[in-house]
Amino acid sequence: MTQKTAFAFLIPFAFSAPAASAFADVAGYRAVYDIAFGSSDAASGITGAEGRYVFDLEDVCEGYTLNERFVVQLSRRGGPTLQDYRLTAFESASGDHYRFKRTIDLNGKQTQKAGGTLNIDAGGEKSDVSYDTADDISYDTVVLPPVMHVIELLETAKAGEKRHAATVFDGDVDTPAFYAVTRLNALSDNEKTQGDHYEALSGLERWKIDSVYYPFENNGDDQGATPDFLFEGVLYENGVITDLQLDYVDFELTTALSDLEVREKDC
C-alpha cells in the first residue's frame, strides 16, 4: 500500500488564488479519523483493517505547516502488517514552495525516507522537485502541493463547476506526482454527514467529492489507464473533510471523524 497525501485532499485538501482567501475563516485545524475495513478483492489476501489518521494543518501567516500520521494494521491470511506513515511539511501561502519530510515504517522497520522541496516558477509553467537523497525531477507543468490543491478544489466548487483536474504532488521517491481528477457535487442542507456533530462546521457549504489518482505519465487521457488510488468524502468550505473513504484498488478503507479542532485565524 502506498500512502497518498489526500487532502492533495485538502485532503486533497483537497488541492489560483492566494491561500489566505480560501482559508479566510480559519487558521487551520486538527482532525482525527478512525480507520476501519471496507472491502477487498479476494486476491489481495486482506481480511480486515483498523487504525487512525491524524491531519494537522496550522496557519503560520507566511504559509502553512502540515503534519500527518496514518497508522493502519491490515489483517492478512499470512499474518497482520502494520504501516506507519508520517509527513511533516511547510507550504508557502502562495503555494509556490513546499518543503517536506516523510517516512514509512512497515512492521516497525523503516522502508522509506524522503525529504526535499517542490518549487513552482513565477510563470507557472514549470515545477522542480529537489530530493535530499534522490535524483531531482523537473516537470513542464504546475505540480500542486497539498494545500493549494485543496484551495483549487474549493474555488472550483464555489464557482459551481463540477470537475477539477490537476497534477498533484505526493512526495514518494518512485511516484512523486499524480494526475488527479475530482468530481464535485453540492450537498443540500438535509443531507447528513459526519460533520453534522461539530459546531465548527455548522451552516457551511459542503460538497461531495470523488477523486481518482492516475499515474502522471498518462495524464488521465489514456482510457485504459488504471488509477493508483481513489478517495471520496465531503469537503467543507473551510477545507475540513469528513466521510472519507480510501480505495487502494484491491482493498478499501473507511473512516469516521472522531475529533475535530478548528482554529481561529489570528494573522
The reported pLDDT for the residue numbered 221 is: 52
pLDDT at 13 over 80: no
pLDDT at 127 over 60: yes
What residues does each domain of the chain span? Answer: 19-260
- Kindly report which listed range (20-24, 63-67, 81-85) carries the lowest average pLDDT score: 20-24
Paired strand residues for 70: 53, 85
Which pTM was predicted? Answer: 0.87
Percent of the chain with pLDDT over 70: 87
Strands (E) in 77-162, as ranges, are: 81-92, 97-106, 109-120, 127-131, 137-139, 143-144
Region 85-109: mean pLDDT is: 95
Percent of the chain with pLDDT over 90: 68
Residue in this structure with the C-alpha cell 529537489, named with its chain if needed: 130
pLDDT at 69 over 70: yes
Q: Kindly report the CA angle at 73 between 71 and 74, in degrees rounded to 5?
A: 135
With cut-offs at 50, 70 and 90, classify the pLDDT of residue 46.
very high
pLDDT at 219 over 60: no
The reported pLDDT for the residue numbered 125 is: 83
pLDDT in tens, 168-207: 999 888 889 999 999 999 999 999 999 999 999 999 999 9
Rounded to whole angstroms, the Cα distance separating 48 from 74 reads 6
The reported pLDDT for the residue numbered 61 is: 86
pLDDT at 260 over 80: yes
pLDDT at 81 over 80: yes
With cut-offs at 50, 70 and 90, classify the pLDDT of residue 25.
very low
Please choose, from the candidates 141, 142, 10, the residue with its C-alpha nearest in 3D space to the C-alpha of residue 87. Answer: 10
Greater confidence (59 vs 26) lies with: 59
Residue 43 DSSP label: G
Strands (E) in the chain, as ranges, are: 28-40, 46-59, 63-76, 81-92, 97-106, 109-120, 127-131, 137-139, 143-144, 163-169, 177-186, 206-215, 229-236, 241-247, 251-263
The reported pLDDT for the residue numbered 236 is: 94
Q: What is the mean pLDDT of the chain?
A: 86
The reported pLDDT for the residue numbered 77 is: 86
Question: What length does the chain have?
Answer: 267
